[in-house]
Amino acid sequence: MKYLIDTQILIWFQLNDKRLSNEILNLLTDTSNSIFVSLVSLYEIAIKQKTGKLPELPVSIEDIVLIASEDGFELLPITQIHISNYIQIPFFEIHKDPFDRLILSVALTEKLTIISADDKFKLYTSQIELITA
């Protein structure tokens, strides 16, 4: 299977956070699965680090990329079609997060199942497949 992990899952996995269930850990470490990380997540992490919102992750983006690569995760660049398909993601007043919405667009475009701990992703299950962490 092919999965796109959201930013929170990437952070939790790298921090070995106990909030990740064994089921999700098994999906992420199963070498028969392809696990993708959108560059959107790296951009989001960089912004949150700069604004002091991620004190639990004091490593550089380069280190995050290196660790993700060592974990067998594949980086997925943002393309024009991902940005163009952003318009297909429904707008909900309760979920305006531009990073999440672009990650959803990437999943829709690439036909990837998203793994997320964010309950708001459930709003989009008519567009994307979701595994809730």
- Mind listing the pLDDT tens digit for each residue in 58-117? 999 999 999 999 999 999 999 999 999 999 999 999 999 999 999 999 999 999 999 999
Domains assigned to the chain: 2-132 (3.40.50.1010)
Q: Torsions phi, psi of 118, nearest 5?
A: -85, 115
pLDDT at position 7 is 98
Query: What are residue 95's phi and psi, to 5 degrees?
Result: -145, 95
Mean pLDDT in residue range 25-49: 97
d(Cα 106, Cα 94) in Å, to the nearest integer? 20
pLDDT of 22 reads: 96
pLDDT at 28: 98
**What is the rounded average pLDDT of the residues 37-65?**
97
Task: Specify the 3-state DSSP secondary structure of 132.
Answer: strand
